[in-house]
Amino acid sequence: MKRIAIACYFTLLLAPFAQPELTVAGDQPSDFTRPHFQDAKPSINNKIQPDRPMHADLSTFADEAWILPVRSSHLSPGQITSRALNMPGLQPFFLVGDDPQSLTWLRQRAANLQEMGAAGLAVQVGDNEALARIRAAAPGITIMPVNGNDIATRLQIEHYPVLITATSLEQ
């Protein structure tokens, strides 16, 4: 009886070492899991960041005709009252439309907007030609068509063109 108890004790003691190691599907993809897990690996980017902000030209990645026209019912062209903001870390961006006031504003401020690394949101744009006119007014700056209603509500603004930075909201 004593031998059986000692044999059981040693069996229980050595059992964890006798079993194969547990393998997780993501560690070694099988033929079944390989298509699902290969795309989940993050890419590594070891490039050194430039001294000044770079602009990605996102307009070259997709045909934007499907999203147009863009209408932001809470926004219209007009004057705004400048005010201070406290939004640390916010990257500068601006809201414009395809109206003459926005196009003039963009032409006058294009160099400054590019220097500060501001991105643009076209919140009122009718078609591809109107979007092309907006982008031509500020070459080299990324300007994407988006509905600006949520931004207008959150920042309590009713008009554009407007520049929003971490410290101010101004025209």
Domain regions of the chain by residue span: 2-40, 58-170
Please give the pLDDT value at position 137.
97
**Per-residue confidence band for 34, with pLDDT thresholds at 50, 70 and 90:** low
Q: Is residue 78's pLDDT more than 70? A: yes
**What mean pLDDT is reported for the chain?**
80
Tokens at 2, concatenated: 């004593």
Q: Which of 97, 167, 60, 115 is nearest to 106 (CA)?
A: 97
What percentage of residues in the chain have a pLDDT greater than 90? 61
Q: Which residue has the higher pLDDT, 79 or 41?
A: 79
User: How many whole angstroms separate alpha carbon 157 and alpha carbon 160?
Assistant: 8
Which residues neighbour 25 within 8 Å (Cβ) at sequence distance 6 or greater?
33, 37
Question: Among 3.20.20, 3.40.50, 3.40.30, 3.30.70, what is the CATH number of 58-170?
Answer: 3.40.30
List the alpha helices (DSSP H) in 19-157.
34-37, 100-116, 128-137, 149-155
Least Cα distance to 124 among 101, 107, 146, 155 occurs for: 146
- Provide the pLDDT confidence category of residue 66 given band limits of 50, 70 and 90: confident
